[in-house]
A and B are shown apart, each in its own frame.
Chain A
Amino acid sequence: MSAVATPDRQSTGGIISTRTLNRIVIYGLLALFALFYLMPLFVMLVTSFKTMDEIQNGNMLALPKAPTLEPWFKAWGETCVGLTCAGIKGYFWNSIKMVVPAVLISTLLGALNGYVLTKWRFRGHTLVFGLMLFACFIPFQSVLLPMATILGSLGRFGVTLQNATGMSFGLGNPTVNLVFVHVVYGLGFTTLFFRNYYEAFPTELIKAAQVDGASFFQIFRRIMLPNSMPIFVVTVIYQFTNIWNDFLFASAYAGTGDAMPMTVALNNVVNTSTGVVEYNVNMAAAMIAALPTLLVYVVAGRYFVRGLMAGAVKG
């Protein structure tokens, strides 16, 4: 083998070095792009651990000389959002209270839609699916005003209900409003995800469950959902990121007051016009605002397991 390889190496020596050079150029460029992409994050992270003195007198890219967690505590508990100076923690919980129900409801409804659109087909199911897909392409700016009108009507209905029954059922509450809006505009995507996943789901399983006597919802809960983990995770990550990061709807429908979500609060922290701009606190607040989506990726990403369907049918 080596006897054959020796003359070979001499003749192809030039080619190998060209290939290595190509590799170096390609990976070098990729590394450069990655660095460029990560630079702002690096600056944010570094700045959030610096004191104001160091920021004003030092290099933006330098590592903190005396790392401090003070800006993080201040951002969480003391910084001023508008006129109240109690940190961003309240708004953080506002976002959680809004995002968790919105994600769960839109994901479950999407799963249900996908289940019906693939396994309980009715006349015109393609049209319905087409219209739902259409919802994915609506620019959200264009629905701001009509949606505001609808939410206004719902709010007035809530007041009527309050007077009549003593309960408003959450109608008119800004958090409920945001959940409603995000569920409505998330349904297009969640339905798309689940429909495409269930399209490949073996229909014989549903038939077998029917013969076994399972009802529509029993099949959904016992057969469909337990076998939907991969797409469930994908949808949750997608919806969580979108809804958590949403600024447009949040500022339009809950831009002031106690129900303000994280993204709007962060904007108000950064846009404060009084006193010195506390870059370290702003950066820490922005990092806190970005953490949950990161966490969702880290935790849920582990459940992107393949082969969950293995063994259902021949394979």
Chain B
Amino acid sequence: MAFLEIDGLRKRFGTVEILKGIDVELEKGGFLVLVGPSGCGKSTLLNTIAGLENITEGEIRVDGRAINDLHPSKRDIAMVFQSYALYPNMTVAGNISFGMEMRGVPAEERQKAIDKVAKVLQIGHLLLRKPSQLSGGQRQRVAMGRALVRDPKLFLFDEPLSNLDAKLRVDMRIEIKRLHATTGTTIVYVTHDQIEAMTLATKIAVMRDGEVQQFGTPAEIYNNPTNIFVADFMGSPAMNLVPATIGGNGSALSVVLQRDGREPISLPLAGAPTGLSAFKDKPIIFGVRPEALTDPEGAERNASNIATADCHIEVIEPAGSDTFAVTNLGGKAVVARLRADAKIQPGTITPLAFNLTKAVFFDPATEKRIL
């Protein structure tokens, strides 16, 4: 039995269904990231776990106990808000201990707990300041301190890093990951940033329109997306999704990509998904991540199925660590990821290696993965 279980959770506002039957579970000490575009219901889902919003149907259990009818303060949770939500009239110490004060913890114990948390987060020198006297990163730490001090069963983070600048965001991301590793707490974390999701999570739930599109480990989500939405949403730069057709004769299938003014590319498929044979001569969406499309020298040596094709390179984007080359296939810009020192010129026709073992195929009608 998992530590956090969400069963058939539905949430309606009048006739509008915001959450349409969410089933998610998380083991103890896990890190669940709810990720999706704005308006997908991820924050609402977090608020229902926190008890700040009621649910219409379903059940939320923590450690085997149903909590969905309990008051937020009785759920043994702690929450870090996007805006930090520090009480402006109280000092940092007052902010951290407010929850304990409300639960009637004696002053002496409160002080001990404050000191302990201040040490973990290195905010000891800030304890007597007011939130207005803190920088963004310090406020973030205090907000985490307020959550940590409760020692709850479940931590909830609502886009905690989105108000920080890019550099600080990376630092705090590492900090949160370290905190998770050292304290072994169970965390549910909401973000719209897929990099945060990939780097932090042990489990990711990709959401759209109140439904979980895919639930799995970061590697599963990244390598085996169940539909076009997940494939497109996760990963940066995004996966190339190219309209193509399935060609070939007999059992030897190939994927055919149209090009402007030249004959189409045909890439032979070995060990293609069995479902693909039903799509022979039919349109599909061919998905290949930029790192699976590179110059032949840089291609993965032990991949079993690599096909090379000449492509017209339109644009080169040297990003320092890598060089991205943009070509046009099937009417769409396709990004290839090359080594930083790859010899490649814009406007030339250059062979690119497609790592077809990493390629995925989607049905354009249902947008689902063809398996």
Contacts and interface: CB of A to CB of B under 8 A. Distances in A.
A214 interface: yes
Given A204-B81, A204-B85, A312-B86, A212 B99 contact: yes
Interface in A222-246: 222-223, 226-227
Contact of B102 (A212, A226, A312): A212
B163 A211 contact: no
Nearest to A204: B85
B185 interface: no
A205 B73 contact: no
Interface residues of B, number: 32
Interface in B118-177: 130-134, 136, 139, 146, 163
A310 interface: yes
Contacts of B85: 202, 204-205, 207-208, 312-313
A309 interface: yes
A209 interface: yes
Nearest to B73: A213
A212 B80 CA distance: 11
A227 to B, nearest CB: 5
Contact of B139 (A205, A207, A226, A311): A311
A308 B88 contact: yes
Contacts of A312: 83, 85-88, 131
B222 interface: no
B79 A211 contact: yes
Contact of A204 (B78, B83, B99, B133): B83
Given A310-B88, A311-B88, A314-B163, A211 B132 contact: no
A266 B71 CA distance: 57
B298 interface: no
A218 interface: yes
Interface in A181-235: 202, 204-205, 207-214, 218, 222-223, 226-227
A227 B72 contact: no
Contacts of A204: 81-83, 85
Contact of A213 (B47, B103, B146): B103
A210 B98 contact: no
Contact of A313 (B77, B84, B130): B84
Contacts of A207: 47, 50, 52, 72, 79, 81, 85
B81 A213 contact: no
B321 interface: no
A245 to B, nearest CB: 33
Interface in B66-106: 71-73, 77-79, 81-89, 98-99, 102-103
A311 B73 contact: no
A212 B73 contact: yes
A204 B82 CA distance: 9
Nearest to B132: A311
Contacts of B163: 314
A312 to B, nearest CB: 4
A222 B88 CA distance: 11
A158 B207 CA distance: 64
Given A204-B83, A311-B132, A311-B134, A211 B89 contact: no
Interface string A285-315: 0000000000000000000000111111110
B169 to A, nearest CB: 13
B88 A227 contact: yes
B138 to A, nearest CB: 10
Contacts of B88: 227, 308-312
Nearest to B89: A226
A212 B78 CA distance: 8
Contacts of A311: 86, 88, 130-134, 139
Contacts of B103: 213
A311 B146 CA distance: 15
A210 B72 contact: yes
A42 B146 CA distance: 59
Contacts of B89: 223, 226-227
B228 to A, nearest CB: 35
Nearest to A313: B83
A214 B73 CA distance: 8
Contacts of A212: 73, 98-99, 102, 146
Given A202-B83, A310-B132, A311-B86, 7 more contacts: A202-B85, A210-B72, A211-B72, A213-B72, A227-B89, A311-B88, A312-B85
23 contacts: A204-B82, A207-B52, A208-B85, A209-B98, A210-B51, A210-B52, A211-B99, A212-B73, A212-B102, A213-B72, A213-B73, A213-B103, A214-B73, A218-B102, A222-B87, A311-B130, A312-B83, A312-B86, A312-B87, A312-B88, A313-B83, A313-B85, A314-B83
Give 6 closest A-B pairs by Cβ, nearest first: A311-B132, A213-B73, A311-B131, A212-B99, A313-B83, A226-B89
